[in-house]
Amino acid sequence: MRAVVVLNGEAAIRQALVQQGSPFAGRPDFPSFHLVSGGKSMAFGSYTPRWRAQRRVAHATLRAFSTANTPSKRLLEQHVAAEAQELIDGLVRLSAGGGYANPAPLFTVANANVMCALCFGQRYSHGDGEFRALLGRNDRFGQTVAAGSLVDVLPWLQAFPNPVRSVFRDFQALNRELHDFVRAKVAQHRLSFRPGAPPRHISDAMLDCMEHGPGAQQGLAGGYVEGTLSDLFGAGQDTTSTGLTWALLLLLKHPLLRQQLQADLDRVVGRERLPTADDRAALPRLEAFLYETLRYSSFVPVTIPHATTADVLLDGFRIPEGTVVFVNQWSVNHDPLRWKDPHVFDPARFLDAGQETLDRDLACRVMIFSLGKRRCIGDQLAKLQLFLFTATLLHQCDLEANPAEALTMDCEHGLVLKPRPFTVAVARRGAPQSGGTETAEVEPPPPPPPPPVLLS
């Protein structure tokens, strides 16, 4: 038996994860957690001094590639621009002759290629067998986790044949295959790596800090580069591709809003170049649309389970050490005390009356990347990718929903909530269009997630 606490509402979650961060920063001692990223996972690892050192290095590296005005950030924009063009080419080709394409697989490939380029300096063709197999493993990983792991709460099930043990062994194999892929890439880079030289990609930066810098004295030289990169690659591409799929679905649901966003892009960017990260501040309506997509879909409704590292008091309740803690992010994003009509999709809630300024304080209240010591370190990278892909798709393409399909907000459950498959016709845009001022229509909300389960 394990005691489980579910944190609901922003106040309780902030009190636990921010004000009492350390006691709530642990991870349950689940057998499956020890399998992720070769046992040296940052996302699933225990809260120790070495884990804190690993996180500091990873956070600083990602910040250099996603927020600072550095060559590394510009490299990210170049990768996204190249993959966005490949993505558009594929969607236009599949839509030729009146056809409709399922965008989700192409989104997955595009975002995985961005992560491959950032982490390893290498991209793959969309038909590459090794790459397709890798993405297939990542998808099966999510499906396996979605089923939950009874082995985590009943470890003795590993001792004799049963369906649960079969699922657990599949989980073992999937983790081993992904980690072997990353380990082979890092081994290749070690041969040409030069300590102190400007990093060519995230692998170089990690090798420099963890094996040739201060991280080596903090115990990070023994496989933690591979463990950290496995986390970044696996989590980064799946989260961003899911967010992009939700964004496209909502653009199809709201054609008037789509026209307004395209008019904004034509005015700010023009037709002679592609959108860049520097355009974000001048495109508040697009930023508002993306924050509302994150809030409304809440596609990470419940975080990876935490565990208390000591006895702790929360809101008058005593929570013993070792208690499993779930963080219900859905409850924050759909709290009627915080959000007017939370079941309504309304990007204007993040804008002023003239729809010219983004309310950044309200935008920061959207919870999709958790809080505190376990907050996702790739949040800024994910938001930047989501902006660049969405802006480029709107800027370059006209989108048409399939009239034979009902655009539903129903979703498929896994590590993240994914929209049910849908198709779209994509054509390259002609001359700039003028945007209307109509208010986008609304639709029923996506269904709430199921009750939290012990995820493997």
User: Are the beta carbons of 336 and 342 closer than 8 angstroms?
Assistant: yes
Tokens of 239: 């989260």
Provide the pLDDT for residue 141.
Answer: 61
- Bridge partner residues of 327 (DSSP): 7
- The pLDDT value recorded for residue 416 is 84
Residue 245 placed within a domain: yes
Q: Is residue 172 part of a domain?
A: yes
Give me the number of domains the chain comprises. Answer: 1
State residue 319's pLDDT score. 96
pLDDT given at position 181: 85
Contact yes or no for 42/227 (Cβ under 8 A): yes
Domain that holds residue 165: 4-428
Residue 310 maps to a domain: yes
Question: Is residue 448 a part of any domain in this protein?
Answer: no
Give the CATH number for residue 265: 1.10.630.10
- What are the distances in angstroms from CA 210 to CA 70, 182, 184, 216? 21, 16, 18, 5
In a domain? residue 451 = no
pLDDT by 10-residue block (mean), the chain, 456 residues: 88 96 91 73 88 89 72 78 91 91 90 87 77 68 53 46 56 77 88 87 89 82 86 78 95 96 97 92 97 96 92 94 94 96 96 90 95 90 92 96 92 84 92 40 46 35
CA torsion sign for 384, 348, 294, 251 is: negative
Contact status, residue 406 vs residue 444, Cβ threshold 8 Å: no
In a domain, 437, yes or no: no
Asked if residue 442 is part of any domain, the answer here is: no
Q: Which two tokens stand for residue 28?
A: 């349950």
pLDDT, residue 72, reads: 66
Q: Which of 88, 70, 81, 66 is nearest to 428 (CA)?
A: 88
Q: Which residues pair with 26 in a beta bridge?
A: 307
In a domain, 78, yes or no: yes
Judge contact between 344 and 442, C-beta under 8 A: yes
> What's the pLDDT at 435?
38
Dihedral of the alpha carbons of 129, 94, 267, 355, in degrees to the nearest 10: -90
